[in-house]
Amino acid sequence: MADQVLVTLDGQVRDADAPFLYADDLAVVRGDGVFETLLVRGGRPCKAALHLARLESSARALELPWIGPGPWTHAAGVAVREWGGDREGWMRLVLTRGRESGGPPTAFVTVGPVAERVVRARREGISAMTLPRGISVDMSATTPWELAGAKTLSYATNMAALRYAQARGVDDVVFTSSEGRILEGPRSTVVIARGKKLITPPPEQGILAGTTQKALFEVAPDKGYVCEYAALYPDDLLAAEGVWMVSSVTLAARVHTLDGVALPPSAAAEDVASMVELAVEEVGVG
């Protein structure tokens, strides 16, 4: 039995073990849809407002119908009540173009348990390798149909890159552009520390605007950190005083090894971990 909750956008709780999608759903056959993944903690969805805003902008980029945040907030509320407040979970919000044969979009919310791998990454950090993504940082400006910056359901490339790394004993991937710039992880944003400065690559270079990084940058100035968007190269990561891959469910995973090189312990490690914890509790509370 799946340890999951499934709620459709009409607020109905469904059997998460029963067949649900049609075989011609365009998400199934084309990856044609958008989604969000967020953390459920203390019986509520974290950074809900930021995730709903990004879901809307992804939906608009794909010209999917958007009926407003209300039904999503309601369905997410039903799902967290079903899940309970005792344990953390991940929540997915999924919107697809619906059936190829026509009809309304498919829209649902699921909640499931946070994997052991995630808890370990928070606690022990991760190894990562740089891999070329084969795209230029100019891509999003010149080829809007590439949907860079939208969180679409077409994640096969991202998952293939992770399998490539994991087959070589490495936990995660840092994508680089054809110019050799740092882009992002397959499911996270790269943030580095340089003294009391936190730096992340600009979203305009064709990457997803991360809600965790955004929330971190909202709380960090109060803790004495200057936050900046700037082009980064692999050498900047090797020379940094801390490298993190931040994302909604894993939160801050410190990179302890990059391309086989052990990175020194970071003086900012505790600060960044606690600022991300604070950020997901306080920013974008819906």
Evaluate whether 97 touches 26 at the Cβ level (below 8 Å).
yes
- 201 contacts ligand PLP (rule: CB under 6 A): no
Question: Closer CB to ligand PLP, residue 7 or residue 50?
Answer: 50
- 177 contacts ligand PLP (rule: CB under 6 A): no
Among 211, 243, 255, 272, binds ligand PLP (CB under 6 A): 211
Residue with tokens 């958008």: 34
Please count the helices (runs of H) and the strands (runs of E) in the chain. Answer: 9, 14
- 208 contacts ligand PLP (rule: CB under 6 A): yes
Question: Closer CB to ligand PLP, residue 81 or residue 113?
Answer: 113
CB of residue 182 to ligand PLP, shortest distance in Å:
12
Please state, in angstroms and rounded to a whole number, the distance separating the CA atoms of residues 259 and 241. Answer: 16
Among 25, 32, 184, 236, binds ligand PLP (CB under 6 A): 184
Please state, in angstroms and rounded to a whole number, the distance separating the CA atoms of residues 145 and 156. Answer: 17
Task: Determine how many CB atoms are found less than 10 A away from the CB of residue 20.
Answer: 14
Taking CB under 6 A as the criterion, which residues in 245-264 touch ligand PLP? 246-248
**Which residues, in sequence order, are CB contacts of 265 under 8 Å at separation 6+?**
none
Q: What pairs with residue 110 in β-bridges?
A: 6, 92
- 188 contacts ligand PLP (rule: CB under 6 A): yes
- 210 contacts ligand PLP (rule: CB under 6 A): yes
Please state, in angstroms and rounded to a whole number, the distance separating the CA atoms of residues 168 and 170. Answer: 6
Question: Closer CB to ligand PLP, residue 176 or residue 248?
Answer: 248
Which residues contact ligand PLP by CB under 6 A? 37, 184, 186-189, 208, 210-212, 246-248
